[in-house]
């Protein structure tokens, strides 16, 4: 009888210890998962599949209720991760972007050029402006017949609300040290001199864009300059002009990689994984940021130099 009780209490103790360890393990794995949100390693694969979807920006992530953002910080990180991974033989970019920040686009294109892997891009709906800038850094570009691409140009347009303020009898007290310090402020009209300064900068950025595309696509700068009117170009026309290499989508891009590297391609998707905590904190950060921005705008005259967009 005593032996039986001892045996029972022994097994109770065993199950208690194992049960405790299971509970602690699950709890801690959940805790660690909170920190593994965006560092998801893809499953098996030898081709890094990296989507570039939405407006290209240097930072930030997509809000679940807002516009899609392709963060250059994240995408560059993915490209570098793929480049360091010896299992990865090629990088496949899926581009669906109207462009965005010139700096962010350049960051992604530069990271792609630095990579030693075979780089292939395919453009879905849109691979325009900054989206095309990124695609041009790939070794080979596929485009759908009806995709819009090209749009090689830069802009820094903004709303001038000085007239509106005047209607409400609000005046802009200009206090600057440095005559161009408040260049591009929406509270005052742009002078001819300021317009010339901004246009000069835009032309310089435009020139860089043209030269980069020409270098990446091995086209004469003069030929790219002729196309660089900012006009969106249909996929078929882009193929004729040499802005892309072939008509096709994901399937064709994968086949191209397989033939070029003589491998059976297995895609390893590099996509930002967001945990529930990320979504919730992102929403809070977004709301607090907007609230702060609103208050800040109301209280101070901001340095609102226009941003250069591609």
Partner 1 sequence: MLRLTSRRSVTVNASILKRVLAFIIDLLIVDIAIVFPFQGVLRRIVPAGGFIETYRYFSVQGSSFLLYAIATTVTVLALMYFVLLEKKMGQSVGKIFFRLYVVGTDKEELSTWRCLLRSIFLIPLFPFILLWIVDPVFVGFSHEHQRLTEYLSRTKVVEHVYW
Task: Indicate which single residue of 58, 63, 73, 85 sits in contact with partner 1 (rule: CB under 8 A).
Answer: 85
Taking the complex as a whole, the smallest distance from the CB of residue 37 to partner 1 amounts, in Å, to: 8
Q: Tell which positions 44-63 bind partner 1, by CB under 8 A.
A: 44-45
| 120: three-class secondary structure by DSSP | strand
Q: Does 114 bind partner 1 (CB under 8 A)?
A: no
Q: Does 32 bind partner 1 (CB under 8 A)?
A: yes
What are the phi and psi torsion angles at 106 (to 5°)? -65, -40
Across 203-215, b (16+ Cβ under 10 Å) vs e yields eebbeebbebbbe
Q: Does 280 bind partner 1 (CB under 8 A)?
A: no
Question: What is the C-alpha to C-alpha distance for residues 91 and 298, in angstroms, rounded to an integer?
Answer: 46
H or E segment and range at residue 123: strand 118-128
Nearer to partner 1, 44 or 157 (CB): 44
Choose one: 7-15, 177-185, 191-199, 233-241; the region binding partner 1 (CB under 8 A): 7-15
Choose one: 8-16, 105-113, 192-200, 296-304; the region binding partner 1 (CB under 8 A): 8-16
Q: Does 277 bind partner 1 (CB under 8 A)?
A: no
Choose one: 12-20, 123-131, 149-157, 301-309; the region binding partner 1 (CB under 8 A): 12-20
Question: What is the C-alpha to C-alpha distance for residues 56 and 135, in angstroms, rounded to an integer?
Answer: 13
Task: Indicate which single residue of 2, 4, 5, 40 sits in contact with partner 1 (rule: CB under 8 A).
Answer: 40
Choose one: 19-27, 106-114, 222-230, 250-258; the region binding partner 1 (CB under 8 A): 19-27
Judge whether 73 and 58 are in contact, CB under 8 Å: yes
Question: What is the C-alpha to C-alpha distance for residues 194 and 183, in angstroms, rounded to an integer?
Answer: 6
Task: Indicate which single residue of 8, 21, 171, 211 sits in contact with partner 1 (rule: CB under 8 A).
Answer: 21
Q: Does 218 bind partner 1 (CB under 8 A)?
A: no
Taking the complex as a whole, the smallest distance from the CB of residue 272 to partner 1 amounts, in Å, to: 12
HEC string for 236-304 = HHHHHHCCCCEECCHHHHHHHHHHHHCCCCCEEECCCCCCHHHHHHHHHHHHHHHHHHHHHHHHCCCCC
Taking the complex as a whole, the smallest distance from the CB of residue 273 to partner 1 amounts, in Å, to: 7
Q: Does 43 bind partner 1 (CB under 8 A)?
A: yes
Residue span 121-140 as binding mask against partner 1, x where in contact by CB under 8 A, dash where not: --------------------
Question: What is the C-alpha to C-alpha distance for residues 71 and 167, in angstroms, rounded to an integer?
Answer: 39
Task: List the structure tokens of 189.
Answer: 């009209």
Question: What is the C-alpha to C-alpha distance for residues 55 and 243, in angstroms, rounded to an integer?
Answer: 21
Contacting positions for partner 1 (CB under 8 A): 10, 13-14, 17-18, 21-22, 24-26, 28-29, 32-33, 35-36, 39-45, 81, 84-87, 273
């Amino acid at each position: 009888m005593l032996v039986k009780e001892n045996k029972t209490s022994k097994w109770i103790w065993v199950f208690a210890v194992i049960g405790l360890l299971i509970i602690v393990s699950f709890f801690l794995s959940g805790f660690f998962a909170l920190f593994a949100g965006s560092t998801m390693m893809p499953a098996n694969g030898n081709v890094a599949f990296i989507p570039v979807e939405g407006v290209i920006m240097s930072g930030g992530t997509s809000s679940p209720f807002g516009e899609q953002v392709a963060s250059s910080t994240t995408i560059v990180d993915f490209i570098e991760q793929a480049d360091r991974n010896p299992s990865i033989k090629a990088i496949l970019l899926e581009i669906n972007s109207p462009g965005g920040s010139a700096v962010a686009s350049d960051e992604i294109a530069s990271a792609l050029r630095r990579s030693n892997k075979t780089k292939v891009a395919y453009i879905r709906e849109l691979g325009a402006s900054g989206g095309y800038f990124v695609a041009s850094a790939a070794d080979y570009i596929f485009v759908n017949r009806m995709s819009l691409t090209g749009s090689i140009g830069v802009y820094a347009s903004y709303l001038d609300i000085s007239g509106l303020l005047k209607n409400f009898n609000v005046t802009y007290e200009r206090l600057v040290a440095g005559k161009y310090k408040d260049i591009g402020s929406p509270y005052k009209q742009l002078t001819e001199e300021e317009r010339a300064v901004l246009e000069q900068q835009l032309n310089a950025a435009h020139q860089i864009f043209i030269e980069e595309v020409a270098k990446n696509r091995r086209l004469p700068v003069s030929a790219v300059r002729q196309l660089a009117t900012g006009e969106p170009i249909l996929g078929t026309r882009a193929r004729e002009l040499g802005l892309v290499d072939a008509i096709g989508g994901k399937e064709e891009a994968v086949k191209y990689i397989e033939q070029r590297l003589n491998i059976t391609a297995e895609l390893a998707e590099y996509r930002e994984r967001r945990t529930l905590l990320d979504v919730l904190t992102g929403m809070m950060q977004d709301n607090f940021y907007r609230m702060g921005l609103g208050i800040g705008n109301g209280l101070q005259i901001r340095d609102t130099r226009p941003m250069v967009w591609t």
